[in-house]
Structure 1
Amino acid sequence: MSELHLMNQRYFKYIIYLLAIYVLGWGFTEYRDVFLGLITGTVCSLFNLWTMIRGQKRFSNAVEYGGKTGSLGMLSRMAAAGLGVLISLRYPEEVSLVATAIGIVTIHIVIMIDFLIQTLRNKLEER
């Protein structure tokens, strides 16, 4: 498996774990609006990750086989983030807008944390 494929699998796994924690928080705490906002934003973030992976695959296939490279899907990722925000604006009592915004950037936080972990792991293996 390629390194990019392994990274994407790790990201999916981490996001699914976070979603499970958010669902437990939504079900068992009194901060239902915050956790529902986190769930909404993180689902948008997961969709954005999926569209980015799909765009990467199409781009690499186009480069490898000499085809045309299409869009990487920026408009659909922006629309997904906008949809998450619209949901939180439509139902402000049930879904926290701030938590939705935090959930939308969750994948970027996961990528940075994974990068740090992998860098530290590689430095420890070199010793």
Structure 2
Amino acid sequence: MGRHNFKKLKIWQDSIKLVSESYLLTKSFPDFEKFNLISQMNRCAVSIPSNIAEGSSKSTDIHFKKFLEISLGSAFEWETQLIVAFHQKYLSKEIFDELEDKILQIQKMIGKFIDNLNNH
């Protein structure tokens, strides 16, 4: 399959948007979360497109898949942190539902991408 231009991948584009949403969201979290949930969520969010980009540079699908799996792991981690933030009442149900939907879409897309690589 060869190398991919990661900037053209929808999973990368959507996960880059999620990074901005994560930063925007966590700006409203309490200050004492700065080194906890805020940094964790933003690190996880950044990890999603970063691993897609890094994986796309690999010459084999097996290597690309490994990075996509890391990216998927970060997406599940971010979703968990979103749920924690919601339980702490750091965001409204409306915003939670919207972001939950976005992360589920990203997870689905990464999963499909991995499946497609498996079929080559």
Where on the TM-score scale, by shorter chain, does this alignment land: which range? 0.3 to 0.5
* Higher-Rg member (1/2): 1
* Higher RCO (CA 8 Å, separation ≥ 6 residues): 1
